Chains A and B, each alone.
Chain A
Amino acid sequence: MKGTELKYEDLEGLLKGLLDKKTVDCLILPHKVGNNVAYMMVTDKNKIEPPAPAIFAPSFSVNAANIVKGWTIKEKIGIVAKPCEIRAAIELIKLKQIDKESVLLISVDCSGAFKNQDYADHYGEIGDWVDSAKIEELKGKGIAIREACAICDHRLADVGDIGIARVDGEKVLVTGITDMGLDALSAAELSLEDKEIERKGEKEKIAADAKKKEEELAKISSMEELEEFLRDCIVCKNCRDMCPVCYCKECFFDQPLGNPVGGDLLNLSKLRGAVGVPANQLMYHLTRVYHVSTTCVGCGACEDACPKDIPLTRLYPVIAEKVQEIFEYVPGRDVEEPLPFVTYEEEELEDKLR
């Protein structure tokens, strides 16, 4: 793998170089807002602040892939984001919601993120960057990372076109993963050399950790438990809107059949004697579970978006993982890998049908 080691501060130069050399027309970058971190789209290189405090910040605002959903124009956009966001963007490329040639995906190492409120409240203790030891220490104080992050096993910057990995001290390792990424780095005048980045041990440790955390999560194992779990849901559909891979232009649950109002609702009630309102609560969530089952990257944006604080991580990513297992599919692993539902093997899955 080709890459180069940079000082933390030099990242600013790299990002400015990408804009300066017209490698990209704009960049989606995290920047500090008070104690927290938010995204900005920047076209003027002078507006780029030193990325150091924001780029590795353990905070999750919105899935950056959701911002570029529908980016099918020729102008090129660069995204600097966490692996889950980059993986969501790769899924959107496969779903034809983003033009592959119009995005430069730059992933950064992630150690897990805190809920926005937790991060802002405890910024003094958390700081701009955490490692796994620090996460454990903070957990002891009652400040835990998001459940979605705790069960995530894709935290290393090895997806997308360029990866920015954190090495010890104040250094980062910038690697070109695809040809597009290598070209971008060369254009930004980085001297690329062969870099051995061997992080298999780290990866295995993260995966084992994530599996353990997932087993500790409360399970939803029957329809009664699911009903109880979704009891407070008001079908506001925020989880759908904030989900990067839920992309239908006309959602079934915005149409009369999925969202009955007036006479339709009355008829439904007459048909069944009684109907729960808002209607289709269970149907909505089960349908969404199925619709995102192969592409869910487990970013936890749905849970963050829920105004009723339903821990949706226990529903969507957990079940999606089971479905992805039967197709041996990992969303965002490879942009050339076809989506499970658009391909097939002639002999498969016969034990899953009855």
Chain B
Amino acid sequence: MGEEAKEDFEPKIIGFTCNWCTYAGADLAGTSRKKYPPNVRLIRLMCSGRLDPMFVLKVLLNGADAVFIGGCHPGECHYIKGNFYARRRIAAIRTILKQFGLDNRVRAEWCSASEGDKFARIMKEMAEDIKKLGPNPMRGKIL
């Protein structure tokens, strides 16, 4: 893909966010009029522990360019320990994806309901990173 095409490339990011923190954080970013690129499509989960790593696989195989996972800071889970389990699962699926060079398209962050700034910053960073990385190699493949 040439440089010009890369310029035009708008990544599609799927974000899985926890109802109690990152989703509210995203809401706060919106209500306080923080600007961030519109590349992310959020899917609200009740907890980052609800994230089955199959979601991540499906998202990437179906051609989205990146996956964002947002959860409560460790120790602050609404369900006490959901994000601790999530952390282990995400670490495992990223280790697997690393073998195929896809791990840099998956990013998990802890972001509380009061961290609208942080959410906007992460989204900005991610959009830039993925733009540099280029489209997902699985995009448009017949699977």
Q: Which A residues fall within an 8 A CB radius of B?
A: 220-227, 252, 272, 274-276, 280-283, 286-287, 289-290, 293-294, 319, 322-323, 326-327, 340-341, 344, 346-349, 352-354
Contact between A349 and B88, CB atoms less than 8 A apart: yes
Asked whether B117 is an interface residue with its Cβ less than 8 Å from the other chain, the reply is no
Contact A346 B101 (CB under 8 A): no
What is the bound-complex CA distance between A352 and B95, given in angstroms?
A: 8
- Interface hits, B62-92 → A, CB 8 Å: 74-75, 81, 84-85, 87-92
Let me know if B100 and A222 touch, CB within 8 A: yes
Distance in Å: Cβ of B67 to nearest Cβ of chain A? 11
Q: How far is the CB of B15 from chain A (nearest CB, A)?
A: 14
Residue pair B92, A293 in contact (C-beta under 8 Å): yes
Q: Are A346 and B57 in contact (CB under 8 A)?
A: no
What 8 A-B pairs are tightest by C-beta distance, nearest first? A344-B84, A352-B91, A353-B108, A349-B91, A354-B107, A274-B142, A223-B100, A286-B57
Known: A283-B58, A341-B88, A353-B87. 16 other contacts (CB 8 A): A220-B99, A223-B102, A223-B137, A223-B138, A275-B142, A286-B61, A286-B96, A287-B57, A290-B53, A319-B99, A326-B95, A341-B89, A341-B92, A349-B88, A352-B90, A354-B107
Q: In the docked arrangement, what's the CA distance between A347 and B87, Å?
A: 10
- CA of A222 to CA of B100, assembled, Å: 4
Interface residues on B, range: 20 to 34
The answer, yes or no, to whether B94 is at the interface (CB within 8 Å) is: yes
A327 touching B100 by the CB < 8 A rule?
A: no
Contacts of A283 in B (CB 8 A): 54, 57-58, 61, 143
Enumerate chain B residues within 8 angstroms of A349, measured Cβ to Cβ.
87-88, 91
Q: List 18 A-B contacts (CB under 8 A).
A: A220-B100, A224-B137, A225-B100, A226-B100, A227-B141, A282-B143, A283-B57, A286-B96, A290-B54, A319-B99, A326-B92, A326-B95, A344-B81, A344-B88, A346-B75, A353-B90, A353-B109, A354-B108
Complex: how many Å from CA A192 to CA B58?
56
CA distance A276 to B107 in the complex (A): 29
Q: How far is the CA of A61 from the CA of B64 in the complex (A)?
A: 42
Q: Chain A nearest CB: distance from B2 CB in Å?
A: 20
Interface of A is mostly: helix
Produce 1/0 per residue, B110-143, CB < 8 A to A.
0000000000000000000000000001100111
Binding site for A on B (CB under 8 A): 53-54, 57-58, 61, 74-75, 81, 84-85, 87-96, 98-102, 107-109, 137-138, 141-143
Most buried by B among A223, A274, A293, A327: A223
A326:B91 contact, CB within 8 angstroms: yes
Q: Which residues of B contact A289 (CB under 8 A)?
A: 96
A353 and B84 form a contact (CB under 8 A): no
Please name all residues of chain B whose beta carbon is closer than 8 Å to the beta carbon of A293 when the two chains form the complex.
92, 95-96
Q: How many whole Å from A79's CB to the nearest CB in chain B?
A: 29
Complex contact A282–B61 (CB within 8 A):
yes
Q: How far is the CA of A290 from the CA of B92 in the complex (A)?
A: 8
How far, in whole Å, are A348 and B85 apart by their CA atoms in the complex? 11
Cα of A30 to Cα of B109 in the assembled complex, Å: 51
Contacts of A323 in B (CB 8 A): 92, 95-96
> In the assembled complex, which residues on chain A have CB atoms less than 8 Å from the CB atom of B91?
326, 349, 352-353
Q: Which residues of A contact B92 (CB under 8 A)?
A: 290, 293-294, 323, 326-327, 340-341
What separation, in Å, do the CA atoms of A353 and B48 have in the docked complex? 13
From known contacts A223-B137, A276-B143, A354-B107, infer whether A344 and B54 are also in contact, taking CB-CB under 8 Å: no
CB contacts (< 8 Å) of B143 on chain A: these are 275-276, 280-283
What is the bound-complex CA distance between A280 and B95, given in angstroms?
A: 21
Determine how close the nearest CB of chain B comes to the CB of A274; give it in whole angstroms.
5
- Asked if A287 contacts B54 (CB within 8 A), the reply is yes
CB distance from A328 to the nearest CB of B (A): 12
When C-beta atoms are compared, the residue in chain A nearest to B54 turns out to be A287
Docked pose: A283 CA to B58 CA in angstroms: 7
Compute how far the CA of A354 lies from the CA of B122 in the bound complex, rounded to whole angstroms: 11
B76 nearest CB across to chain A (Å)? 12
User: Contact between B100 and A322 (Cβ–Cβ < 8 Å)?
Assistant: no
